[in-house]
Amino acid sequence: MIEIIPAIDIIDGKCVRLKQGDYAQKTVYNENPIEVAKRFADAGIRRLHLVDLDGAKAQHIVNYKVLEGITSKTDLIVDFGGGLKSDDDLRIAFECGASMVTGGSIAVKKPEVFLSWIKKYGAEKIILGADVKDRKIAVGGWKETTEIELLPFLQKHIEKGITKVICTDISKDGMLEGPSIELYKDILRSLSDVYLIASGGVSNIQDIEQLEEAEIPAVIFGKAIYEGRIALKELERFM
């Protein structure tokens, strides 16, 4: 059974979604993300992907109060990401109730810091964020595409202890055009032991069913819920 992980992205303390990571293409869906999280929890959802977009821009944790509010008022298992660059950022995130944190750009820009987090907290608490464009790693809030090939990048981190990966196809994110199923299949063919979390492009319940058929372990999605294309009741069978 595929694991269902709704996403809440935060700017100015509000629940928003961007198109392809573009801050200029922002839609505010709810002034109170805690209300959104409660609605997910009441529907039987267990996991939440919470992204501090202000933190991603500022390069340090910003919306930790939203994280604390969600974890104190729901039983959701929250993975938290966005701008986590220092040991202090991680300390704040975990103190505010995050069960896991996601690091993406830090794994490219400061690999020694990212690897130290795996050693300190354990692989169960650290998720590798792999944002890709044309199968190459993108960093810096998706503004910079590197020449780093996706599969060798993932392989290197799995050898260092990483077990969970969120892979986001930038071209699909927020576009409601369907996920990159072939990309995810290729990853699992090459790296069968990784717990792969697909992200980007989910537009309806059929997309989730196709990911499940492809034996993708988990999926993150947000805009399809906020736009009413997926009803929470439709997700019951995956819970």
Residues assigned a catalytic role: 9, 131
Question: 94: left (phi > 0), else alpha (psi -120 to 50), else beta?
Answer: alpha
In the structure encoding, which two tokens stand for residue 50, read together?
């919470």
Q: Are 179 and 208 in contact (CB under 8 A)?
A: no
Contact by Cβ (8 Å): 62, 12: no
For residue 153, give every residue at least 6 positions away whose Cβ sits within 8 Å of its Cβ, in sequence order, or none: 130, 137
- CB contact at 8 A, 202 and 210: no
